[in-house]
Structure 1
Amino acid sequence: MSFPAHVAAACLLACVLTAVGGPAVVRADDQAHDPDQRHATDTPYSTLAMRDLFVARPRLGMLESLVANALLARPTDGEQDPGGDGYRGPSQKRCGKRICVHYAVRGADAPPSRRWVRRTLRVLGSVWDHEVGDLRFRPPPADRRRGGDSRFDVYLADVGRRGLFGYCTPERRLRGERFAASSYCVVDDDFARRQFGARPVDSLRVTIAHEFFHAIQFGYDFREDPWLLESTATWIEETFADRVDDNRRYLRFGTVHRPAVPLDDFSNDRYAHYGTWAWWEYLSDRHGGGLVRAVWRQADTVGDAPDHYSVDALEAVLQRHEGLPRALTSYAVANLWPADTYPEGSRWPAARVGRAVRLGQAQRSDAVRVRIDHLAARHLAFAPAGDLRSHRWRLRVTVDAPRRRAAARVTVVRSGGRRATHAVRLDRRGDAALTVRFDRRAVARVVVTLVNTSSRYRCGRRTMFACRGVPRDDDARFQVIARLIRR
């Protein structure tokens, strides 16, 4: 019984990564299908799968190394590429000053026309100008003439048949550097609407913006935490192809709509890391477009760079501004009403809020207990019953939170829609109390935002969180007591 080449390659990749103790990342990196179809396609050729294989290769045995080398082969290596992307015939390339586009002359991987090849090269040039020129990221390292010369190489192949937009592969470590590498990319050969459900040129633009940024990242630190790799690559789509909005599909899986998901969450079968691109949008709007570049400079490994892991790099940058705890808390509150925070927020999903507890003269108090993981939040709501008509009614909100690694805000939503958000000053024990107006005529509801701001890890434990670590303060206990009083 025979199997398609890419299926056999997927099995080989899973076995190799399992053998070295790495995550067997075999789900498609950038699936063309709706994110709800989470298991529609399994393929070895995802950016992070290839990255994990590249990282693991020095520890492999002879046979496993041969398998790894074959999986990392370029499409122009033909039959040496067992994953299904090797060209089965002659190929050509069209080059600009900095980039070459390689394509098959005939067969399933051949693009529809040379005009499409020229268009791909133009988009690549525009992306380079934007990400390297405008945003001032370092260009991808030169590959020592692996594709024929030192220019960056992109290959066209029919990866859409396996549910992929494209992928990038780190290939060679830079001389004198342990964790920076040159790379190449593969993108779909035509982005046909029947496969991707969108205008081909739109799919082309967001894919190249995303994947080329992975090539840039590999020149900083190819080992970096996966949530940072994917969330910033998805964010950069918005900066280059703002009107396409392909990344909007992921918001309902990320920290905008699901505040209880940790900021650094990454999983092979969930999509939070894509949806968390909104975090970088939020920070860039507040602190300028150079903030993401500043984080990558802190994560950089080249020369005497700091080489911080993702959350450590983020903290180092935010210390110059408001600090990570305050930024994360403000972000959680902002996501309750995204239309007021983001330029396109009126089309975004809002943060989930627990069902409102209605308090009145029949039920004058309630206690709500929740558990919150690191770098995550929960929203609780309280609404006045119809019998609270006097302007003298107040709501006393008492918060019992973990010491030092927690934050809280209280937002009063007026009947007419206006809002006022109040900081809750937790003492050293994590306790605080705040009194706000709570009569039916003036107040629609009161929302209490609770945040676990902990960024402590036991690193190097083979997880998919930051620094491959185990969070030290997950499942933290919070309690809110809401009690009616009358003045």
Structure 2
Amino acid sequence: MLGLLLAPLSGGVTVASADPRPLPPEPASRESVSPLGTAGRVLAGDALATDPSATMALRDLWLARPDLTGTDALEATALLARPTDGAADPFDNGYTVASTKQCGTKVCVHYVPTTTDAPPSTEWVALTLATMEAVYDREVRQLGYRAPRKDGIDGGDARLDVYLKDLGVGLYGYCAAERDKAARTASGFCVLDNDYSPTQFPAKTPEDNLRVTAAHEFFHAVQYSYDYAEDPWMLESTATWMEEQVFDDVNDNRQYLRQSQLQAPYVHLDAFSTSHGFQYGNWIFWEYLTERFGTGFVKKAWESAGSLRKDGRNHSIDAVKAVLRKKRQSFTDVYADFAAANTTPALTYPEAPGVAEYANPLPLADETLTRAAKRHVERKKVDHLAAEAINLRPAAELSGRRWKLRVNISGPPRSSSPAARLIVHKLDGTLTSRRVRFSRGGRAQRLAPFSSTKVLAVTVSFANVSTRFRCGRATEFVCQGEALDDNKLFTVVAKAVKPRKRR
């Protein structure tokens, strides 16, 4: 599905042209997907491009299993089994020989000495154990998240069990829920690849692949101590964000920024696309919140989203809104700031300067205004929790200090939470951001400096920050809901003007 780019002609007239920026297909309804079939394909190494990660596939199967009967229930139980459940597993996901284990304070690593599931050496087992123990220490003791729920004597004792197995090309690892605990929390176990062979995982070294997978998958086990039924985008985006907090030097998560609101702000923040990785790329949202409010923000969001009596029991976005309210911050304002900040990644994220994955996003339009063509009009429909931006530059002839850019925006009514910012890029390399206030009917106007002697460009960032949903509609969005404010039209009219001097 293509959007439309409004390309200006002389005199400010606009015509439609194809938008070169790719949009993902509409996310599949949960009702149209078989969790059993999906999990079976993923664990067998036959995943389709439209299938989710193994962790999410097993999470969905875990949620669906109570409603399965007969053969389907037996198959689900087998897919959710531990590798040590053995050769009796009809799907060939279990070990076929006896296993042994190495244990630390919090984690036990199980492995087999022979067959294709065997690790390359006991030194690799020790490295896996040391890595998992370090991840446990960082995420639970240092960052303060809840430990994974204890599993009793499964695996031998209550320590977290990690199994090494040859998972095949592209499947790095997964964690699966196993035993229901209080509310929507569960104990579980993890499975990691047995060697991260470069022939199967060529992007990073085996050691780096182990590190980043351990940080990501262990956090899924942590999430199950809050709410295993939380919105999918929050589960995956915060797990990808956690990679940055545990092993900042690996930077594997940068590969997803092409499919994030940093580079594709026009795609919903809560998108969970089985054919695109937006749920991974939007770790950048949590990174923005971390830079602005501190590392503890994500932990507070999970407490607000948690299902226990002491938790907030909110869906993902409502959880974020609740944390922001305690900081006397508006979600609409913070999201608008986030969208505006993403137009200049190098000035927003400490790691961004000089890094290709953080390159400036492609704006909807980039135009120069002149004396003859002072006006630019942009019309664009924007979905919920998404944004757009246009760049406007003063021609050299607009050099007088009285030149201003007058921006008028007509958007949806205030009840749909329209928001906008004007970012003034000065020739000295500094910038300022100006808030645009909308009337109840969805109209706004703001002036910005526009003299070419001082201003390089003005970016107009506008967003649909609606969080209104009709929940329980079997979608992959917030609260499995149907967004009530998608496809809202914004019309931006920008004109270079010279306001009269006051007498």
Counterpart of 2:377?
A: 367
2:70 to 62, 72, 84: 62
Using CA pairs below 8 Å that are at least 6 residues apart, which structure has the higher relative contact order? Answer: 2
Give matches, 1:246-265, under 5 Å. Answer: 246-265=252-271
Counterpart of 2:88?
A: 80
How far does the alpha carbon of each residue in 1:42-85 deviate from its partner, in whole angstroms, 9 at most, with x for none?
87970010011111011011211001011111111122334443
Give the counterpart letter for 1:165 in structure 2: Y
Residue 97 of structure 1 and its aligned partner are, at CA, apart by 2.1
Counterpart of 1:383?
A: 393
Give the counterpart letter for 1:81 in structure 2: D
1:317 matched to 2:329: no
Is the 2:212–2:252 contact (alpha carbons within 8 Å) kept by the matching residues of 1?
yes
1:167 matched to 2:174: yes
CA distance in 2 between counterparts of 1:193 and 1:80 reads 31
Question: Alpha carbons of 1:25 and 1:374: their partners in 2 closer, same or farther (altered >3 Å)?
Answer: farther
Is the 2:180–2:187 contact (alpha carbons within 8 Å) kept by the matching residues of 1?
yes
Give the counterpart letter for 1:196 in structure 2: F
The runs of at least 4 aligned residues of structure 1 exceeding 3 Å deviation read 17-30, 38-45, 80-85
Report how many aligned residue pairs link the two structures: 462
How far does the alpha carbon of each residue in 1:107-131 deviate from its partner, in whole angstroms, 9 at most, with x for none?
1110000011011111111111111
1:48 matched to 2:56: yes
TM-score by length of structure 2 reads 0.87
Unpaired runs of 5+ residues, structure 2, are 1-29
1:336 to 336, 339, 343: 343
Give matches, 1:172-321, under 5 Å. Answer: 172-174=179-181, 177-197=182-202, 198-321=204-327
Residue 417 of structure 1 and its aligned partner are, at CA, apart by 2.8
CA distance in 1 between counterparts of 2:197 and 2:296 reads 35
CA distance in 2 between counterparts of 1:106 and 1:79 reads 14
1:120 matched to 2:125: no
Question: Alpha carbons of 1:45 and 1:77: their partners in 2 closer, same or farther (altered >3 Å)?
Answer: farther
TM-score by length of structure 1 reads 0.90
What SS does the corresponding residue of 1:343 show, helix, strand or coil? coil
Residue 428 of structure 1 and its aligned partner are, at CA, apart by 1.9
Counterpart of 2:473?
A: 461
Give the counterpart letter for 1:242 in structure 2: D
Residue 392 of structure 1 and its aligned partner are, at CA, apart by 2.9
Question: Alpha carbons of 1:29 and 1:485: their partners in 2 closer, same or farther (altered >3 Å)?
Answer: farther
Residue 442 of structure 1 and its aligned partner are, at CA, apart by 2.5
Is the 1:251–1:276 contact (alpha carbons within 8 Å) kept by the matching residues of 2?
yes
What SS does the corresponding residue of 1:345 show, helix, strand or coil? coil
Give the counterpart letter for 1:292 in structure 2: V
Residue 451 of structure 1 and its aligned partner are, at CA, apart by 1.1
Is the 1:85–1:158 contact (alpha carbons within 8 Å) kept by the matching residues of 2?
no
Residue 28 of structure 1 and its aligned partner are, at CA, apart by 9.1
Is the 1:226–1:266 contact (alpha carbons within 8 Å) kept by the matching residues of 2?
yes
Is the 1:25–1:49 contact (alpha carbons within 8 Å) kept by the matching residues of 2?
yes
CA distance in 2 between counterparts of 1:302 and 1:432 reads 43
Residue 146 of structure 1 and its aligned partner are, at CA, apart by 1.5
Counterpart of 1:435?
A: 447
Is the 1:27–1:44 contact (alpha carbons within 8 Å) kept by the matching residues of 2?
no
CA distance in 2 between counterparts of 1:475 and 1:251 reads 24
CA distance in 1 between counterparts of 2:52 and 2:469 reads 30
Unpaired runs of 5+ residues, structure 1, are 1-16, 33-37
Residue 465 of structure 1 and its aligned partner are, at CA, apart by 0.4
Give matches, 1:404-415, under 5 Å. Answer: 404=414, 405-415=417-427
CA distance in 1 between counterparts of 2:140 and 2:267 reads 32
CA distance in 2 between counterparts of 1:433 and 1:19 reads 44
Residue 418 of structure 1 and its aligned partner are, at CA, apart by 2.4
1:452 matched to 2:464: yes
Cα RMSD (Å) of the superposition? Answer: 2.3
Moved more, 20-29 or 233-242: 20-29
CA distance in 2 between counterparts of 1:258 and 1:54 reads 32
Counterpart of 1:146?
A: 154
How far does the alpha carbon of each residue in 1:95-115 deviate from its partner, in whole angstroms, 9 at most, with x for none?
112211000110111000001
How far does the alpha carbon of each residue in 1:401-435 deviate from its partner, in whole angstroms, 9 at most, with x for none?
22221111111212343222111122222222112
Residue 385 of structure 1 and its aligned partner are, at CA, apart by 2.7
Give the counterpart letter for 1:235 in structure 2: W
Question: Alpha carbons of 1:166 and 1:22: their partners in 2 closer, same or farther (altered >3 Å)?
Answer: closer
Is the 1:284–1:290 contact (alpha carbons within 8 Å) kept by the matching residues of 2?
yes
Is the 2:425–2:456 contact (alpha carbons within 8 Å) kept by the matching residues of 1?
yes
Counterpart of 2:413?
A: 403
Give the counterpart letter for 1:142 in structure 2: K
